[in-house]
Structure 1
Amino acid sequence: MKYSLATAVILACATPLGAHPHIFVDTGLEVIVDAEGRLTHLRITWAYDEFYSLLVTEDRGLDPDYDGVLTEAEVASLNGFDMQWVDGFNGDTVLLNGTEEIALSGPQEVTTAFSEGRIITTHLRAVEGDAPDAKGLVTKPYDPTYYTAYEVASKVGIEGNDNCRARVKMPDMSADLRALQADLSALDANTDPGDVGLPEIGEALANEVVITCDAS
């Protein structure tokens, strides 16, 4: 996840020990498939954890009375705060056809809400180029560095084609991967895992959304 400098500073100062990952995101996915069984879009929901949501609202001077309720204007001011992506950033979402990555557009139709102390955003991403056959495609939401932890927390929806469905495959937690995860969790907030020789493990810990389609 790409975040503002001010928020990064707050995180560095406020995040306690055992701070990897720093941000937790419940992820929702809606797969949009056309009548011919081709995947055309992904609609993605990010529901940020309460602590990170608090940091963002404090960073922006929102909710000055600390009642946990934002006005419509305050919510509107948040819209797009997490969509200022640098060139080359893949939006922490990968769509795969086997080992081939399918290019996706930048974020479209961005929305933002605030509920029960959490910022919840949605955005749409279109397949660039020819839409591929949806059958067998895999979507993986993850941050390679595991700075942000994404978890597919709700049923994946399929829109536009009743012959297709999606299932969530959990990561294969080997003993080595569990040990690496524990090593990461032991780092303080100011330590870069790469500086102490730890590899990027975000992809290995990612949920996989596997799409299957019946013959029409």
Structure 2
Amino acid sequence: MQDLSKHTPMMRQYLTIKAEFPHILIFYRMGDFYELFFDDAKKASDLLDISLTARGKTGGNAIPMAGVPYHAVENYLAKLVALGESVAICEQIGDPATSKGPVERKVVRVITPGTLSDEALLTDRQDNLIVAIVDNQSPQAKLKTSSAPAFGLAYLDMASGRFVLTEPQTSEQLQAELQRLSPAELLYSESIQDFSLIEQRKGLRRRPEWEFDLDTAIKL
């Protein structure tokens, strides 16, 4: 984590929370708005077509900021999810009247495209699938045998509970299966050999190799 000593108490709180969710957008509740800061603010401004402003300075540089009203947040979440983005909702859980320093906050909800169950955010016209793939051809792969399939693929429909495992034998079969499924979110191991197979997909989430280990999967 970066040195927090140069930041205000509130910004230290934000950055501590952000460090736990480095790869997704943080909606940080401040009064009647959810605010985003730094790169999150720039990204949200582009994706949601909202104003990019600044809040104070850190290290002599202005802090980029963008925000959305809390009463309209579901509309913005639906748009971000449709674009393949994930969001962590950080709420005020402390009492402003009794808090010394920043009001206590914590992430109470994490929304990812493939794990939605909220009907307000789901698209009626298609399944909302989360897909995970592992490349058995990579040097780190555990199934390095002549009979092992080239790839392992699993997909889950959170709404129905449908869970399916498949074993594409070639890159072409993998691409065909991804085209058929059109996943909202795609988890892939960091050791994947040919990223071009998936780079055009939305909702990409790079995961460490150990998460695809059989023993880990059984424990989870």
Question: Which interval holds the TM-score relative to the shorter structure?
Answer: under 0.3
Q: Which has the higher contact order (CA 8 A, sep 6+)?
A: 1
Higher helix share: 2
Give 1 or 2 for the bigger CA radius of gyration: 2
TM-score, with structure 1 as normaliser: 0.24
TM-score, with structure 2 as normaliser: 0.24
